[in-house]
Structure 1
Amino acid sequence: MQTFKDTGLPEEILKAIGELGYETPTPIQSKTIPEILNHGNDLIALAQTGTGKTGAFGLPVIPQVVTEEKRVQALILCPTRELCLQITKDLQKYAKYYKDLFVTPVYGGTEIRTQMRALKKGSHIVVGTPGRMNDLINRKAIELGDVRWLILDEADEMLNMGFKDDLESIMAQTPEWRQTLLFSATMPAAIAKMSKKYMSDPVELSVGAKNAGASNVEHQFYMVQAHDRYKALKRIVDVTPDVYGIIFCRTRQETKDIADKLMADGYNADAIHGDLSQAQRDMVMHRFRKKHLQLLVATDVAARGIDVNDLTHVINYNLPDDIEVYIHRSGRTGRAGKKGIAVTIIHSREMHRIKAIEKIAKKTFERKMVPKADEICEKQLFSFLDRVSVTELEETSPVNALLPAAYDKLANMEREQLIKQFVAAEFNRFMEYYKDAPDLNIYKEDRGRGGRDRRDGGRGRDNADFSRLFINVGKVDKITSGDIIGLINSKLKGVTVKVGKIELLRNFSFVEVDKAYEQDVITKLSKAKMKGKSVNLEVASPKPSSSSRRRPQSGRKKRY
């Protein structure tokens, strides 16, 4: 097994990273460090987010900087403020035993004059975002004529974010003899074009296949109706009590809406988007990194530079337009050798996009079924009981003073009753919410009918003899076919009732059920409520032919 010493790094660097606990280089570091130390060739390094790219270029560049010369010798460009600060922090740790080496971050969203003063004092390595770097160049606050290393980190993301002109303007200020190091997770056409224009016979190094997803990320998708996305999201989160992840949305407004809904529903969630001030963004990110938030809702642009190694999930509320963006998103979980899960919520007409990602990313997606109420409630209960069982009460805790009164209050309860009351107090509201929750999944037969929402749980008509029932709720009550199926399933537990066609009309609906369970369905459902409205069912005549002029409800036969 290769060690950092084998790469040729000097003792000062080895000592610093040894104190950080680094023992063996990552695959991309193994390839790039010797190349940058021993050769002056331009370099294209392809590797996913979280594979140690900062170390891949920072560890070999730092010992080559001439600290006696107070000029900018290395320029590192990255897409966001967060990544800029993270790179700076890492480089300063690596350079711990190079006392006279100075690293300066420059980025937008903060006072430019403060950064100008820092640069005037002298800096050897500058880490910056393209927009702010251009501002500094235009103000003649930075001189790039002595730059030996020009490093583009997450180059594909900078191009995706529209920084092409800024990058070209900055590169024009650096000498032609510089060594250009381009690091990217993917290799889109724009990167290939840039390398031909601005790089000289670059060496290409990669970890894994181009545009391939991270190897330790599991890819899953759920298929629901588009209007059920948020309901599905909640169930996915609820069935995973320990989730710690990022939810990606398409637009700034969608990000706000989803975050607001999650917070209103009691989840530890918040959003980052372009409308936040830098101070607000910093506060949200601080809470997320400290795990005071379980869920961070973000757009792709706002999430650039987020550096969190232990995310359990990345959830795509919508699929991105570009496959490379999906690869970037999924690469934010499963980092630092840990396992991760990338979840995507799709509707019936998006299956071809899943297939396209599978082909390019060379990953297989697993179809998962949106969990039902009983599965969610069981998971939540066991998670709660696990938390209770490992909770420690210190002798100095103020809770101890309250225990005698609690013992007296509960003294008359038997063990079983106490547990029952304990669980009920914690879960009554939660279980009430899922009481009549419908099946949100779309099945194959639904897709075959153009994606219409039949939601019969895969039972279909088969050869069953169906009875057509009139039900006094309809579209005006905001009822869906799934709501009716869910009510039947919840009220006739342990019984498989075949459901046929469901017709949703304005003020009422018709549903076909197995004739053998006709009276059971009417009896059980007539005692229920849907969306706050008392349900009433009657047996209706078979659906009239298209030539019939009778009103649909005129064929009632009997009432229970």
Structure 2
Amino acid sequence: MNQDIQETQEQEAIEQAPVQNENGFAKLELSEQIMQAVTEMGFTNPSPIQAEAIPPILAGRDVIGQAQTGTGKTAAFGIPAIELIDVAERHPQVLVLCPTRELALQVADEVKKLSKFKRGIRVEAIYGGDSIERQIRSLKTGVHIVIGTPGRVMDHMERNTLKLDNVRMMILDEADEMLDMGFREDIESILEEMPAERQTILFSATMSKPIMAITKKFQNDPVLVKVVKTELTNTNIEQVYFEVKPKAKIEVMCRLIDMHNLKLMLVFCNQKKRVDELVESLQVRGYSAEGLHGDLRQAQRNNVMSKFRSGVTNILVATDVAARGIDVDDVDAVINFDIPLDEEYYVHRIGRTGRAGKSGKAFSLVGKDEKYRFREIQNYTKVKVEKGVIPSFEDIVGLRKARFIDQVKETIEQSQDLNLYEDLLTALHHSGFTTEQIVAALVKRSMGIEKNEFSDQNLGLEDDRRGDRFGRNDGPDRGSRFGDRERGGRFGDRDSRRGEGRFGDRTDSRRGEGRFARNDGPDRDRGGREEGGRKGFFDRDNNRAPREREANMVRLFVSIGRRDYVRPGDIVGAIAGEANIPGSTIGHIDIFDKHTLVDVPREHVNKVLDAMEDNTIKGRRVNIEVAR
């Protein structure tokens, strides 16, 4: 369809009227350029959020859109934004704020596609981790639509390289996520700097009190558009879970890949370290896999995503935060190697397959200590996920044999030069091998499958009767190759692997750089707090004693302080981003010259300590431990 449209466009006269009559977007009275773009993108009818939100936005009204990821909200605000642009005016006319650089890039890409036929429109994504000098040069040449993260937008405002005097439309995308990440103060600062005569559009999956406070303060008689999916998960997605011995997860995943002949898939882990180890294990097994997490520089991320989109890499292993903004339509399956810590993450994960009307698969590998969490996910999504049967080693061997036979048949039928190789059989016979031995050896080399420690085992949980073993030694943190050298179990004795505390005789040789998952780069350091008054937690008195802890909170010691120019938002962003916990759950923060004390909920302490181990804040390596 796209090819036909492109061929038509190459002709001097482009007749789009017949297409418009068939396209439901025509009812929205859009410009011819937008109609061409949506048709080329394969859109035939607007989604509910698009049908409800586009008319009032085009009419100039402020809009509150309640919609989840995957409902088409980018086009819902992107189309009216493009229609608003006066190309002759070479300055920012639309500003879109997004919580992460991945989402900013995704939105920018979508807006560029939608504006393809409106000549002269310039779109720029600005975010931390990318060269600010390059962004400055681009902004100076004249940009109409700016899409950015709050931290980097504030940086450009302070440098006077982004002026908002002529912005006519302000869009907050995934506003609830931005507040959870501690961006409230930044958002309010940006809105206060904008012209009073502007249109403000806000999209959020939830309507919390902080969200409503922002709408009341900064919107003028907004129209509420509420579109909630009747089902949180796509009916085109086949969801199956497997109860797996944690140490056998990699083996089971590889069997599923072979059994279903998966070509392009996303695999999700809860920790960055797990991503790296899983990628290494898959590569050792011969799979083309790459990892994506917050430690990667933007150039590395772009390289990984380019290879994945082009099919050079067919397995992308990622953390939830790093995967935000991934938009690839042809993903065959999503595999939850780790069960997510948040029900919403499950919805976001599996929503990356089964797109554009295609079918997809979602496989979840559930360890013993993850069973309860997965039941909570099913209750949340209101979908009964079927329990699958783990393919046996014999199943995989039989399947590969059948595929090998098909490949041999195809080669024989289609090749014209087989006579070049016919003498090899005779030569091998002269070496004393039988035809059966020769064929078996060639098949083995081609199939690359060998027996391993799991070949003759039952890998499901129902076969385990060894009590506490999986709670401590093979907990849900561990895959088949992670071995006893890894963590000793998340639920075991932490001190056994921390020595005499985290400030003992540890060297920096193992510590990486830039390990700030939710960070938008070095400039995303302004995240405020959910409640306006929390700013007062910044300690101004070196001699003041830290305040008392709230109930059910644990105080953590962080080896970074005021002399490092750290602010509360830096602490919130780092902990919330790395540990995947809501920023709003983090309690008091007391910042002293050389250290910081931060209160976190007791149930998240181990998760935070694991996530922040050998990590950085504001580019400085930090140690973190329970305060004495």
Normalised to the residue count of structure 1, the TM-score between the two structures is 0.71
Distance 1:215 1:164, change over 3 A: farther
Matching residue within 204, 212, 230 for 2:250: 230
Distance 1:15 1:233, change over 3 A: closer
Superposition pairs of residues 67-466 of structure 1, within 5 angstroms: 67-184=87-204, 191=211, 194-195=214-215, 198-200=218-220, 202-209=222-229, 212-386=232-406, 403-410=418-425, 422-427=442-447, 429-433=448-452, 436-443=455-462
Are the counterparts in 2 of residues 48 and 214 from structure 1 also a CA contact under 8 Å?
Answer: no
Deviation at residue 26 of structure 1 after TM alignment? 3.0
Deviation at residue 307 of structure 1 after TM alignment? 1.1
Which segments of 5 or more consecutive residues in structure 2 lack a partner in the other structure?
Answer: 1-21, 472-483, 485-628
Q: d(CA) in 2 for partners of 1:388 and 1:307? A: 36
Deviation at residue 290 of structure 1 after TM alignment? 1.0
1:104-150 deviation digits (Å, cap 9, x = unpaired): 22222222122112212222211112222121112111112332222
Q: Which moved more, 1:106-115 or 1:92-101?
A: 92-101
Deviation at residue 92 of structure 1 after TM alignment? 2.8
Q: d(CA) in 2 for partners of 1:260 and 1:450? A: 29
Question: What's the counterpart of residue 42 of structure 1?
Answer: 63
- Letter matched to residue 45 of structure 2: T
Q: d(CA) in 2 for partners of 1:55 and 1:293? A: 29
Share of identical aligned residues, percent?
Answer: 38
Q: Which moved more, 1:18-27 or 1:182-191?
A: 182-191
Q: Secondary structure at the match of 1:232?
A: helix
Q: d(CA) in 1 for partners of 2:211 and 2:398? A: 49
Q: d(CA) in 1 for partners of 2:258 and 2:398? A: 10
Q: Secondary structure at the match of 1:315?
A: strand
**Paired residues, number:** 447
Distance 1:388 1:277, change over 3 A: farther
Q: d(CA) in 1 for partners of 2:175 and 2:400? A: 42
- Letter matched to residue 322 of structure 2: A
Deviation at residue 308 of structure 1 after TM alignment? 0.5
Distance 1:36 1:262, change over 3 A: same
Distance 1:43 1:100, change over 3 A: same
Deviation at residue 76 of structure 1 after TM alignment? 1.3
Are the counterparts in 1 of residues 264 and 333 from structure 2 also a CA contact under 8 Å?
Answer: yes
Distance 1:72 1:390, change over 3 A: farther
- Letter matched to residue 310 of structure 1: D
Distance 1:105 1:352, change over 3 A: same
Q: Secondary structure at the match of 1:350?
A: helix
Are the counterparts in 2 of residues 47 and 206 from structure 1 also a CA contact under 8 Å?
Answer: no
Deviation at residue 325 of structure 1 after TM alignment? 1.5
Deviation at residue 418 of structure 1 after TM alignment? 7.7
Deviation at residue 440 of structure 1 after TM alignment? 0.9
Q: d(CA) in 2 for partners of 1:321 and 1:79? A: 20
Which segments of 5 or more consecutive residues in structure 1 lack a partner in the other structure?
Answer: 454-475, 477-560
Question: What's the counterpart of residue 611 of structure 2?
Answer: none
Superposition pairs of residues 4-19 of structure 1, within 5 angstroms: 4-19=25-40
Q: Secondary structure at the match of 1:75?
A: strand
Are the counterparts in 1 of residues 122 and 142 from structure 2 also a CA contact under 8 Å?
Answer: yes
Deviation at residue 385 of structure 1 after TM alignment? 4.2
Deviation at residue 253 of structure 1 after TM alignment? 1.0
- Letter matched to residue 425 of structure 2: L
- Letter matched to residue 260 of structure 2: T
Q: d(CA) in 2 for partners of 1:382 and 1:176? A: 68
Are the counterparts in 1 of residues 60 and 199 from structure 2 also a CA contact under 8 Å?
Answer: no
RMSD value, Cα: 3.4
Deviation at residue 95 of structure 1 after TM alignment? 2.3
Q: d(CA) in 1 for partners of 2:458 and 2:209? A: 43
Q: Secondary structure at the match of 1:430?
A: coil
Q: d(CA) in 2 for partners of 1:421 and 1:264? A: 21
Matching residue within 13, 36, 44 for 1:23: 44
1:513-552 deviation digits (Å, cap 9, x = unpaired): xxxxxxxxxxxxxxxxxxxxxxxxxxxxxxxxxxxxxxxx
Deviation at residue 452 of structure 1 after TM alignment? 7.3
Distance 1:178 1:320, change over 3 A: farther
Q: d(CA) in 2 for partners of 1:329 and 1:287? A: 20
Q: Which moved more, 1:117-126 or 1:152-161?
A: 152-161
Deviation at residue 438 of structure 1 after TM alignment? 0.5
Q: d(CA) in 1 for partners of 2:196 and 2:337? A: 44
Q: Secondary structure at the match of 1:375?
A: helix
Q: Rg: which structure is higher? A: 1
Q: d(CA) in 2 for partners of 1:188 and 1:234? A: 41
1:182-237 deviation digits (Å, cap 9, x = unpaired): 33456677656655555455444344437822332222211123333333333333
Q: Secondary structure at the match of 1:4?
A: helix
Matching residue within 56, 80, 83 for 1:60: 80
Distance 1:323 1:418, change over 3 A: same
Distance 1:341 1:43, change over 3 A: same
1:321-343 deviation digits (Å, cap 9, x = unpaired): 21112211111111111122222
Query: Greater relative contact order (Cα 8 A, min sep 6): structure 1 or 2?
Result: 2
Q: Secondary structure at the match of 1:432?
A: coil
Deviation at residue 309 of structure 1 after TM alignment? 0.8
Are the counterparts in 1 of residues 61 and 223 from structure 2 also a CA contact under 8 Å?
Answer: no
1:236-258 deviation digits (Å, cap 9, x = unpaired): 33323324211111111111111
Superposition pairs of residues 503-522 of structure 1, within 5 angstroms: none
Q: Secondary structure at the match of 1:302?
A: helix
Q: d(CA) in 2 for partners of 1:387 and 1:167? A: 58
Q: Secondary structure at the match of 1:380?
A: helix
- Letter matched to residue 68 of structure 2: A
Q: d(CA) in 1 for partners of 2:393 and 2:384? A: 28
Q: d(CA) in 2 for partners of 1:260 and 1:244? A: 18
Distance 1:161 1:446, change over 3 A: farther
Q: d(CA) in 2 for partners of 1:298 and 1:142? A: 33
Q: Which moved more, 1:277-286 or 1:78-87?
A: 78-87
Q: Which moved more, 1:103-112 or 1:131-140?
A: 103-112
Q: d(CA) in 1 for partners of 2:374 and 2:400? A: 30
Q: d(CA) in 2 for partners of 1:391 and 1:193? A: 67
